[in-house]
Amino acid sequence: MKKHSARVAPLSSYSAQVLTCPISEGEEGSDSHAETPVSETSGEATACQTCANTVLKVLGGLLLVLCVSSSWVGTTQVVQLTFKSFSCPFFITWFSTNWNILFFPLYYSGHVATTREKQTPIQKFRECSRLFGEDGMSLKVFLKRTAPFSILWTLTNYLYLLALRKLTATDVSALYCCHKAFVFLLSWIVLKDRFMGVRIVAAIMAITGIVMMAYADGFHGDSFMGVALAVGSASTSALYKVLFKMFLGSANLGEAAHFFSTMGFFNLIFISCVPLILYFTRVEHWGSLSSLPWGYLCGVAGLWLVFNILVNVGVVLTYPILISIGTLLSVPGNAAIDVLKHEVIFSVVRLAATCIICLGFLLLLLPEEWDTVTLRFLTTLADKKTEEHGEELTESSVHTRSRSRANGAVSIPLA
C-alpha cells in the first residue's frame, strides 16, 4: 500500500469532535435527562480546549516573533563585528551555508523525540526527498533542483554582507524588507497571481523608500553602492522564493529540513572552490587558519541557522504572518543597537525612507480577501447597530404606553 506524505497543517486546523448517539422515542424521559448534562459538559470542555489551544498558539507565535527578530538582529550585528577583524564576506557566506547540513539531523532528532512511530534516518530521508518528485533524490535531480537555489541562496547572503560593509545594519535590514514587494511583483507577472491594488501601492512605497535611501547621501559613493547591493540581495531573495513556489511548490517541515541540508551539501562540494580562488587571487586573503576569528564565524553561522529553523518551524506551529512581523521587527531592533552602541545619527530622509518601506511591508501582509472581509465586517456592524436602535425604540414605546396607562390615559381606537 503506497504511503502518501501528508502536509503539516497548522495546529488550529485540528479540532475535537463530539460524537452523539440518537435516542429512540421510547427511551425519552430519564435517559434523555441523564444524557443532556453529559453533552453540555463535553461541549463546554471542547470550547475550553479550543480556546486554550488558540491562546497557546498566539502566545507561542509572539514568543517566536521575538526569537526570529532577535536571531536576525544578532546575525546582522555579529557580521559587522566580524568585519572589524575579518573582512571576507564570501568566506563568511560559504562557512555559514555549510551549517545548513545540520538542519535535517536536528529535525530527525526532534522527530524521534516527539513521535511514537520510529523511522530510520534513511527511511525519513527518502520520505522527505519526495519534495523533488515521486522518484526521490538522484544525482541528476540533485544537480538540477539544488544548483540554482543554492546559487541564489549564496548570492543573496553575499550581497547582504557586502551591503553591511557600506551601510548601517538598520538601513540594510530595512532595504532587505523590500523583498516582499519584489515577491508580489514577480508572482503577479510570472505565476499570474491575483492582482491587488493595495499591494501595488505597497510596491510603489518600497521603490520610493529605495530612491529616498539612495538620495540621502547623494547618488554617489559608498552609500549608493550599499543601497544597490541591499536591493540586489532583496531581488535575488524574491527570485529564490518565486522559483521555489513554481518548481517545488509547498513543503512541510521535514521536506524543508531536507532541502536546506541538501543545499548545505551542494555548497560544501561544489562552491568550496570559490573561497580558494578568492584567496589565491588575494580578493579575500587571510592569514593562517588559527588567526581567523572562529568565535565570531561560528556565532554568525549558528545565529543564521537558528533563524532559518525558527522561520520554518514557526510557519508550521503558528501563524505565518507573525514570522513576517518578526523579520520586520529586526529594523527597530537594529536601529536601537546602532543608536545606543554605535552612536549612529540618522538623517530625516533615511528615517522617512525606512518608515515608508516598513509601512509598505505591512500592507503586503494583508490577506487577499481583506477588502471583502472588511466590507462584510462593516456591514455586520451597521446591521447590528440598526437592530440595537430598533430595540431601543421598541422598548421606549412600550415604556411610554405603560406610563400612559398608569396615569389613566385611555387609548381609543379609530373607526
**Position 143 confidence tier, pLDDT thresholds 50, 70, 90:** confident
Q: Which residues lie closer than 8 Å to 407 by C-beta, 6 or more apart?
A: none
**Position 409 confidence tier, pLDDT thresholds 50, 70, 90:** very low
Mean pLDDT lowest among 256-260, 286-290, 352-356, 390-394: 390-394
Task: Enter the DSSP assignment of 26.
Answer: G
pLDDT of 130 reads 81
Is the pLDDT assigned to residue 71 strictly greater than 80?
yes
CA 43, CA 248: separation in Å to the nearest integer? 42
210 in Cβ contact with 178 (< 8 Å): yes
Tell me the whole-structure pTM to 2 decimals: 0.78
284 in Cβ contact with 278 (< 8 Å): yes
Within the chain, what is the greatest distance between any pair of CA atoms?
A: 112
Q: Which helix (H) or strand (E) holds 98?
A: helix 89-98
326 in Cβ contact with 361 (< 8 Å): no
Rg (CA), the chain: 29
Nearest to 71 by CA among 228, 280, 257, 304: 304
- How many degrees, rounded to 5, is the angle at CA 215 between CA 84 and CA 166? 10
Q: What Å distances lie between residue 101 and 85, 112, 151, 348, CA to CA?
A: 27, 18, 16, 43
Mean pLDDT lowest among 73-77, 129-133, 371-375: 371-375
CA 158, CA 302: separation in Å to the nearest integer? 17
Is the pLDDT assigned to residue 205 strictly greater than 90?
yes
pLDDT of 159 reads 97
How confident is the model over 178-202, as pLDDT tens digits? 999 999 999 888 888 887 888 899 9
CA 226, CA 162: separation in Å to the nearest integer? 7
Mean pLDDT of the residues in the chain: 81
How confident is the model over 369-398, as pLDDT tens digits? 766 777 777 777 777 777 766 666 666 655
Kindly state the average pLDDT of the residues 261-288.
92
CA 67, CA 232: separation in Å to the nearest integer? 26
312 in Cβ contact with 318 (< 8 Å): no
How confident is the model over 325-356, as pLDDT tens digits? 999 999 999 999 999 998 888 889 999 999 99
How confident is the model over 297-323, as pLDDT tens digits? 999 999 999 999 999 888 877 778 888
% helix / strand / coil in the chain, to the nearest 5?
75, 0, 25
- Of all residues in the chain, what percent carry a pLDDT higher than 70? 80
